[in-house]
Amino acid sequence: MVYSMTQLEARFNSRVTHQYDWVFFNDEEFSEEFMIAVMNATNSQCYFEVIPEEHWSVPSWIDTTRFDVGRQFMGSIGVGKAWLQSYHHMCRWNAGLFALEKRLAYYEFFWRVEPGVDFSCNINYDVFRFMRDNNMAYGFNMAILDDARSFPSLWDRTKSFIKNNKDVIHEDADYDWLLQDPLQGDNAARPSQTLKEQNHYDGFEQLEYNNCQFYSNFEVGSLSFFRSKEHRAYFEHLDKTGGFYYERFGDAPIHTLSVSLFLPKSRIWYFRDIGYAHGLCEQCPPHQFRLTIDSEVLQHTYARALATNTSFSEKHRRWEALSQDFIRQGGIPGLACGCTVSAIDHNNAKLVPFESKQQKPEHPCIRLYLGGKWLEKRADWDQEAEIAAGRDGSGGYLLDGLESNPFINNSYGEKK
């Protein structure tokens, strides 16, 4: 945990204008050694909270025999950590109960920080003030495909909730990026628009969840939203079905479905500019010196050489072409990072590899979320040829995902 803290303090929280509190949760008392170590890693106030037993135990309505058999089976087929009882508790707690903890009643927003993560870029603004000043309720920085074997009944349970609570779906919600018609694929009409035009939500019955999720190991969120009647009713409905124990309902797909159904898209923010890595998943945004060649950066000898060299050798000509590509991509002004720039969709299959038999959406999850021009492909692209060359057949996009501004005008002339 100290490793994660040290980075976030250096990149963000150590500024005198920030110094936000750290609140640690555990299912047992913290050791003296742990508390001293984390307090030494920050000048901010630290709080150490023990999760109440009722928030970290098997609920009374769960058949423990069925739970034990199910988790052993899921573990045997490779569903990540499904055999661990504590992991089921953790998923349930993060999905909804965390926001009800007494200590968090004093706060407006939370930023989830996991042990062993990397924050690879300086964060040159106040993330919490940004959320508040722009009326944001949820922020993420990766959207990826999840393993559907973890939650086979989640969408059916969600549809039953929607059927009985049609009024809770926000009129400006944009959930079409999460849904597909199994008979038509991703090229079907936008589901949310179709359903709204019909003025009812019965059409959900014919649609399936495509298993895209916001990667919730990084998330910044409004505590008032996760305490709202909409989210609490949805969480409690799922909880009573037993899905956190008979299956392995994860907090990531539940948060994703919740914010996409109960919030307008204008209150969800993509933090493309925050470099982050956790395990297999990482994202590194374009950053100024690495990608931008402008009048200021051209004062640097190396950058000037890149921009002007056009003739000395084939190697130098390749560098010149590369510099022009840097200009095309553009960097985020003032952003300093210690990572190699990654495309927005390169994490899409980290949890569900190409070889998996799971049905996958036509486009990577983050492209579905952004929509518009992010879904357009080159006219000369050949998927079969790409697969024959040993790749996964998901390339060919006009926008390669290295652009610094993900909010490019879509094909309808409006910003996503």
SS3 letters across the chain: CHHHHHHHHHHHHCCCCCCCCEEEEECCCCCHHHHHHHHCCCCCCEEEEECCHHHCCCCCCCCHHHHHHHHHHHHHCCCCCCCCHHHHHHHHHHHCHHHHCHHHHHCCEEEECCCCCEECECCCCCHHHHHHHCCCCEEECCEEECCHHHCCCHHHHHHHHHHHCHHHCCCCCCCHHHEEECCCECCCCCHHHHHHHCCCCHHHHHCEECCEEECCCCEEEEHHHHCCHHHHHHHHHHHHHCHHHHCCCCHHHHHHHHHHHHCCHHHEEECCCCCEEECCEEECCCEHHHHCCCCCHHHCHHHHHHHHCCCCCHHHHHHHHHHHHHHHHCCECCCCECCCCCCCCCCCCCCCCCCCCCCCCCCCHHHHHHCHHHHCECCCCCHHHHHHCCCCCCCCECCCCCCCCCCCCCCCCCCC
Catalytic residue among 54, 114, 219, 236: 219
Q: Is 219 one of the catalytic residues?
A: yes
Q: Would you name the residues annotated as active-site residues?
A: 219
